[in-house]
């Protein structure tokens, strides 16, 4: 069924943060052709009654890692796992993401052009995928996966520069090497370039507060990105590293747990996006130990978790644009949608929904095409019994409260049998 009209629904308008009754949504092929009260398609077009339920845009997660398959430390890298097995795991993850209502995701290191094209061509079932290829790290930075007793020369080959998840990063030092690494990832088909500018939780040799990459190196990354009509996203925890990255042109700040007023104000001035990933620390705290997370990394996790939702409050006060991100590794991925609940402790539901729709579309540079139910947009939509503006738990429950999931006009979950069974791809 490639043409139909949804009727008898309440349409969630993320921009206004309210529901609009009496609207109809006309879909042809993979796009929405009209939305309004007075939409009247010709008699041959099928009408689908949504029973006064809430229709909203599909969700967008701007920080995931489909190539992170195993949380268990020793079995977690391409040194321990064939790439074929990692890719099989990635395929399962992609499908699971879609079944939780995410119709677009940005992979923040690990996934490459092949994953994106496999989804586009229908070989893999999953959300629209934006990839960063391998992230760029300095020697001894968050993406340098060597242990502290390893003297091997860092290289860009997959088995050495693997980060915590297998093939997610590469090492570059100095302006020339950094330029080459960025050019190479762009050549390989990255949609955006990920860099590490502070220490991280899951790595051995770099405390959280380490400042990584010089201003010159960051500027070189950004310049190469701009030359290729793309942008840089930066893993950064501390206020100083956020400030330095933003000052030098990075477009989105990932994690940002120690964001302060000064850095937040600069983000507003520069129009930088903020992608918090708070569920990662809560899930690691609750379930990491049983999954083999090492003690020293656990202590780092405690530190970034302790500041909790403070960064959200700082960002909100300053008016920083916030997108939705989760950053779960391995099996912890199941907790993805709990990010909605965590944010609701300090943010209004409407703001969180905007983050996971409109702002996400801005981050991946597809404004008007995704994150909205509007004429010309992709028909990416989810259907709920309850209004998430009132009760965010319907989005936090990991897809269980979503009755229908549609991407590009095709239903991938259809609990209400709105479509003929053969038209549903699940």
Q: Which residues bind Zn ion (CB under 5 A)?
A: 108, 235, 327
CB of residue 189 to Zn ion, shortest distance in Å: 19
CB nearer to Zn ion: pick between 281 and 378: 281
Burial call 16-27: b when 16+ CB within 10 Å, e when fewer: eeebeeebbbbb
CB of residue 142 to Zn ion, shortest distance in Å: 6
CB nearer to Zn ion: pick between 294 and 376: 294
CB nearer to Zn ion: pick between 234 and 320: 234
The β-bridge relationship of strands 102-107 and 252-255 is: unpaired
CB of residue 27 to Zn ion, shortest distance in Å: 34
CB nearer to Zn ion: pick between 144 and 327: 327
**Residue 372 Cα distances to 205, 268, 408, angstroms:** 43, 23, 13
Q: Is 370 helix (H, G, I), strand (E, B) or coil?
A: strand
Select the residue whose beta carbon is closest to Zn ion and give its number: 235
Q: Where are the alpha helices (DSSP H) in 14-170?
A: 83-99, 113-120
β strands within 82-229, DSSP E: 102-107, 128-130, 135-137, 169-171, 193-196
CB of residue 233 to Zn ion, shortest distance in Å: 10
Helix (H) or strand (E) holding 5, with range, is: strand 3-13
Q: And the tokens for 18? A: 């309210």
Q: Where are the alpha helices (DSSP H) in 32-162?
A: 83-99, 113-120
CB nearer to Zn ion: pick between 5 and 332: 332
Q: Is 234 helix (H, G, I), strand (E, B) or coil?
A: strand
CB nearer to Zn ion: pick between 141 and 371: 141
CB of residue 63 to Zn ion, shortest distance in Å: 6
CB nearer to Zn ion: pick between 326 and 349: 326
CB nearer to Zn ion: pick between 213 and 378: 213
Cα 378 to Cα 33: distance, rounded to the nearest angstrom: 9
CB nearer to Zn ion: pick between 235 and 251: 235
CB of residue 277 to Zn ion, shortest distance in Å: 7
CB 142 within 8 A of CB 196: yes
CB of residue 327 to Zn ion, shortest distance in Å: 4
CB nearer to Zn ion: pick between 66 and 178: 66
CB of residue 254 to Zn ion, shortest distance in Å: 6
CB of residue 12 to Zn ion, shortest distance in Å: 29
* Count of helices and strands (H, E) across the chain: 13, 18
CB of residue 370 to Zn ion, shortest distance in Å: 21
Residue carrying structure tokens 């850095």: 263
Burial tier of 313 (Cβ tally within 10 Å: 0-12, 13-18, 19+): middle
Q: What SS3 string covers 265-295? A: HHHHHHCCEEECCCHHHHHHHHHHHHHCCCH
Cα 65 to Cα 127: distance, rounded to the nearest angstrom: 13
Nearest Cα to Cα of residue 362 among 282, 238, 272, 237: 272
Supply φ then ψ for residue 101, to 5 degrees: 100, 5
DSSP state of 141: S
CB nearer to Zn ion: pick between 27 and 242: 242
CB of residue 289 to Zn ion, shortest distance in Å: 20
CB 159 within 8 A of CB 187: no
The β-bridge relationship of strands 135-137 and 169-171 is: parallel
């Amino acid at each position: 069924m490639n043409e139909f009209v949804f009727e008898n629904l309440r349409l969630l308008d993320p921009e206004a943060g309210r529901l609009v009754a009496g609207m109809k949504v006309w879909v042809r092929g993979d796009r929405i052709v009209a939305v309004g009260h007075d939409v009247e398609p010709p008699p041959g077009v099928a009408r689908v009654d949504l029973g006064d339920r809430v229709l909203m845009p599909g969700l967008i997660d701007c920080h995931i890692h489909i190539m992170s398959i195993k949380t268990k430390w020793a079995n977690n890298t391409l040194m321990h796992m064939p790439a074929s097995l990692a890719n099989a795991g990635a395929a399962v993850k992609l499908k699971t993401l879609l079944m939780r209502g995410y119709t677009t995701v940005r992979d923040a290191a690990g996934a490459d052009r092949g994953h994106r094209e496999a989804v586009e061509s229908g070989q893999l079932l999953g959300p629209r995928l934006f990839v960063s290829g391998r992230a760029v790290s300095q020697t001894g930075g968050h993406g340098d996966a060597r242990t502290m007793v390893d003297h091997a020369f860092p290289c860009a080959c997959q088995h050495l520069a693997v980060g915590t998840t297998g093939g997610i990063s590469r090492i570059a030092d100095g302006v020339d090497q950094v330029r080459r690494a960025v050019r190479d990832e762009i050549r390989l088909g990255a949609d955006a370039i990920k860099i590490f500018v502070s220490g991280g939780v899951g790595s051995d040799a770099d405390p959280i507060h380490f400042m990584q990459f010089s201003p010159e190196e960051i500027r070189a990354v950004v310049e190469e990105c701009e030359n290729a009509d793309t942008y840089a996203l930066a893993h950064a925890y501390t206020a100083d590293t956020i400030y330095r990255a933003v000052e030098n042109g990075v477009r989105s700040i990932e994690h940002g747990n120690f964001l302060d007023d000064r850095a937040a104000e600069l983000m507003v001035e520069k129009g930088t996006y903020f992608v918090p990933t708070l569920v990662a620390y809560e899930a690691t705290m609750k379930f990491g130990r049983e999954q083999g997370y090492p003690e020293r990394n656990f202590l780092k996790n405690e530190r970034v978790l302790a500041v909790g939702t403070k960064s959200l409050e700082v960002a909100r006060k300053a008016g920083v644009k916030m997108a939705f991100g989760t950053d779960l590794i391995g099996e912890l991925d199941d907790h993805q949608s709990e990010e909605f609940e965590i944010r609701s402790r300090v943010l209004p539901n409407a703001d969180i929904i905007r983050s996971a729709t409109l702002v996400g579309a801005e981050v991946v540079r597809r404004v008007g095409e995704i994150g909205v139910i509007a004429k010309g947009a992709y028909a990416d939509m989810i259907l709920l019994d309850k209004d998430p503006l009132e009760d965010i738990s319907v989005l936090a429950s990991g897809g269980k409260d979503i009755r229908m999931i549609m991407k590009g006009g095709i239903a991938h979950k259809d609990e209400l049998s709105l479509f003929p069974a053969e038209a549903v791809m699940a």
